[in-house]
Amino acid sequence: MSHQSIITVVDKGLIDRVSESARGGESYCGTVIAGRGSGLHENKKLFNLALEPEKEILLLLTQAEQSEKIINRIEEAVNITAPGNGILFGINLKRVRGLSG
């Protein structure tokens, strides 16, 4: 059985929408991590102080056969293809241990 990791990075506050859209019946394992933006368009200043936008990252592990459905649901839930709405990518995994079922 092959697995894929789906990584989604969005602005803080959107991760619940991403996580719920990813569930949709398929079994998966997920972890949310807090982060800060550092892209070209992220470097803004207010009163000469650098602002670093807060991000949330969902690390998702799923069976490879289910990944496209999950990616499509996440894309639809947060309009990820629009500029500035986040980034989503999948990585094929060779070895996975610690999962049951």
* Domains within the chain, CATH numbers bracketed: 3-93 (3.30.70.120)
Other Cβ atoms less than 10 A from the Cβ of 46: the count is 7
Q: How far apart are CA 74 and CA 60, in angstroms?
A: 12
CA 88, chain centre distance (Å) = 6
Q: Kindly give, in sequence order, each residue whose CB lies less than 8 Å from that of residue 24, ignoring residues fewer than 6 positions away.
A: 69, 70, 73
- Provide the residue-wise pLDDT of the chain in tens; the chain has 101 residues: 789 999 999 989 999 999 888 887 565 778 899 887 766 555 566 566 656 678 999 999 988 888 999 999 999 999 998 888 899 999 999 888 877 65
Contact predicate 30/58, CB 8 Å: yes
Say if strands 54-63 and 49-51 run parallel, antiparallel, or are unpaired. unpaired
